[in-house]
Structure 1
Amino acid sequence: MGFLELPQIDLKRSDMLDTKCAYILDCTSDIFLWLGKKANRLVKMAGQKMVTELHAMLERPSYTTISRETEGEESKFQGWDDIVPFDFTRTAESVQRRGADLKVIMERDKIKTDLAPLFLPRQPAMSEEEANQLMEECNEDLELLEPFVLEGKKFVRLPQEELGTFYTMDCYVFLCRYEVIPEDDETDLEEEEDEEGEEESEAEIERSNAGDSIQLHRRKCVVYFWQGRDANNMGWLHFTFSLQKKFEGLFKDKLEVVRMYQQQENHKFLSHFHKKFVIRRGRRGLTLNLGGHWPELFLMRANGSAVCTRTVQIDCRANQLNSAFCFILRAPYRVVDEDGLKGKVYVWLGSKSNPNQHNLCAQVPVASELINRNNEFPVETIKEGEEPEKFWECLGGKKKYDDDLDDDDIMILDNGDMVFLWMGYHASEVELKLAYKAAHGKESRRFTKCFHAWGKHKIPAGDAL
């Protein structure tokens, strides 16, 4: 008769495992059966039977799983990596570049996971002065900004009063022309200041003779394509096969195309709107013609720095309010009140919000024609705790408040107090076992409040069937 030994140990290291044996690792919510490559069939069968009995022996959570781990394919042990990259393209070029010995290639490409940055002190946020200076630097070389919006199957020029307002179901194109000053020219200008008047005049004549060729050399054109969160990819296809071709014919090699998605814009692009960047839900044509008859709530928030200030429309509910931010409520009345007003725009200032955003939040409804159209509603600024009754009526009654995801990954969110694990639809089995804190579609309020205008996660059309 043989016997099974079940030693209890603290540290788990790969060198403790014998390739001729089977091991059971019990983590309460996960049980692992490790089988060595040289373990005989009897040992493997005994390990399988023992891990089943061990699972039923103790009281465990309902989501407890039993995993079978084969030597060399382990998922959770110190010193092992989850994925080993491999180059399947064995072309003559790759062999010459990487060599032919697979062992050497595997050793060189071995993944080394460094978790040290997760535990480093948080980087300080950009100050208001630094943000304003950055915006000024990003705008000083801007000569022209031409906005376009997709209507049907063609791009039309966006009205000037709508500049800075975006819709989640639309696509926009911005043609920006920048002045490029080479460093050599700056040095030459400094040297010319020390020369005498006659030499400066001759230099001016020479530069004027160069004419338009110098100006053309000093200009750079960038086309920003902005795609809303709920817009499909047809807008990008229409752009690449129509408008982009026209731009390339005009500007040749001096054209740069940058594709951006909603709330993933770069600092250069955001700086052109001077913190007045409004994102509304829906489609532009429908909202302009049919919208505006019901309450709308907008959240102003700066993520990382004041440059990234956006005002995004969210669900019009009282539990969406947060003391750390400023909100804009557009509240049309069903009937004209005793003062002859058809509605009002409330600017709600949270008690813990940034004072630098208070004046800006009051300016957005005035600057954005699509929040307060034709200034038809008066703007009233209210502080948290001083809300009138009509304010709560538009939000469905007073309630308690203050509370970039990839489908094939487990995302880690650290808000300073807690660490959340978010599970994507296509996450691997190894990642799924880790995702017990915040499951996809069941996110807690403490999790969603860390995001600007949290919405329903997009499901690809093929997965929704």
Structure 2
Amino acid sequence: MSTAVLSFIRGIDFSRNDFSGDRFPHAVEQMTQMTWLKLNRAKLERVPDELSRCTNLEHLQMSRNSLSSVHGELSDLPRLRSVIVRHNQVKTAGIPTDIFRMKDLTIIDFSHNQLREVPPNLEYAKGAIVLNLSHNNIENIPNQVFSNLIDLLFLDLSNNKLDMLPPQIRRLTMLQELKLSNNPLHHFQLKQLPSMTSLRVLHMRNTNRTLENIPPSLDDLENLRDVDLSENNLAAVPEALFKLKNLRKLDISGNKIEKITIPEGAWDTLETLNISGNGMTTLPDGIVRLTKLQRLYASDNRLTFEGIPSGIGKLVQLIVLHLTRNNLELVPEGITRCVRLQRLRLNHNRLITLPDGIHLLPDLKELDLTDNDDLVMPPKPNEARKKLAFYNIDFSLEHQRTLAGQSPSSSISSLQSTTKEKDPVARRKDFIRRRKQQTDQEDASKVIQGMSKIAGASAALKAEREEEEQKLAARSAVNWKANLDKQRRQLDYSDIFDEDVGHDEGLWVWEIENFYPVLIDDAFYGQFYDADAYLVLKTTKELSGSIRHEIYYWLGEKATLDKGMCAAVHAVGLRNHLNATCRFVLF
């Protein structure tokens, strides 16, 4: 590249290069107009001296390197807005104190490092809106830190060694996300939380929460949508949680809750509920009123068939249902009426059969039944019966006679049969009888098949000869196709997409350039051009820990046909590269 153009560069991504030792390119000091720079996974051992000339730099990322200090050049960047140095070995003494006096500094991320204390002078970063100090060894937060950071929107102090928080945290009235998980917090009573009226996300996983140290005034946080109180010592659901009118996501797994009674009108907006890892033998009856519920996790309990409400079929929005490691022998028919169900996990139970309607769920993509040794699946219905069952239509002679009133006894027997299906004991007996009949039929079939093989041996031999002749005749016709497939170039998408793409929560955008997707910086997200085509990947992490993928491709009105075709092809390649099961969306 000619040095004449270096001064016009606005941003560059040097991630995944080897800049160990003195390998950092000296030409960077000529990029004086550069506003953003990415040096992630670049094997950096120190901050390059060349950065001191990049005085217009606003956004700097140096994640996943071997930095123990960021002293020096950062202090010479007066326009710095964001500093992201996560996943290094930075210690408290390795952070220059004067960078927090920069008036434009808004994003500070020193997570996943070796900090034992809060960096000195942090309280002077008055313009900060994001502060992430998670996954360090911080034991104490000085009182003055939160005195001036009143514009904070995001605060993550999780995975440290904090035993308490300063009372000045109540000054963070603009805060929207507070993450404190995996801290002892023995002396933190949450009394300051009600003043954070803008709070939307509260994560306090494994923080020694009990019913005594959760204040009743928590229900004053009307904007609270996401609450994580998992892995604590809760013996019941705190009453304040039932009064949160906008709650969308609640995780109370890993506690000591044996019973939940949902009041009338509570949790009307709830979409995700995780009650796994408690001692529950029954799901709450009121759960059938949560008509907006999309994800229910109830694994690692002691649930039985009788403990699942018969009206669970009313949860028509349910997409994910996890009932792993319980005591289920049967599941109610109502589950088959959750017509939007996509993932159903029933592994590690004692199932002996499933409802016949399990084959009728139209969107089911994942059905995990492993470690159910006595399970026998119900037979799959043929297409005609499947359609009739979906519309709840019965054209059997017995049913039609009952409707016509010709055979009262038939009507009574039909009623008894219906009652029998709902009786779990009767269903078990019926299942054993059907399994015995199925075994007898299989034995008879084996005898008939053996006789048929002997009788038709000569016919099979003749058919085999004819098939060989047909193969020889067709082989020459398809040779040209096979040769073409061998010559076709197969793309290795591991060379196109970074290894961390799609494995964590985030958003990635690629622009189609020279027939290939080129990753663009997040600073340019939302600025799409009519003559270009783009590929977009959005990932979210579910409560179960699995990653949900959404793949989009966007075609500008003036984009050429080849760009549009490349966007569609690479969307398929990205999905296959991630082993995802999602569909594509053109927007």
Query: TM-score, length-normalised on structure 1?
Result: 0.26
More strand as a share of residues: 1
Query: Which of 1 and 2 has higher RCO (CA within 8 Å, sep 6+)?
Result: 1
Query: TM-score, length-normalised on structure 2?
Result: 0.22
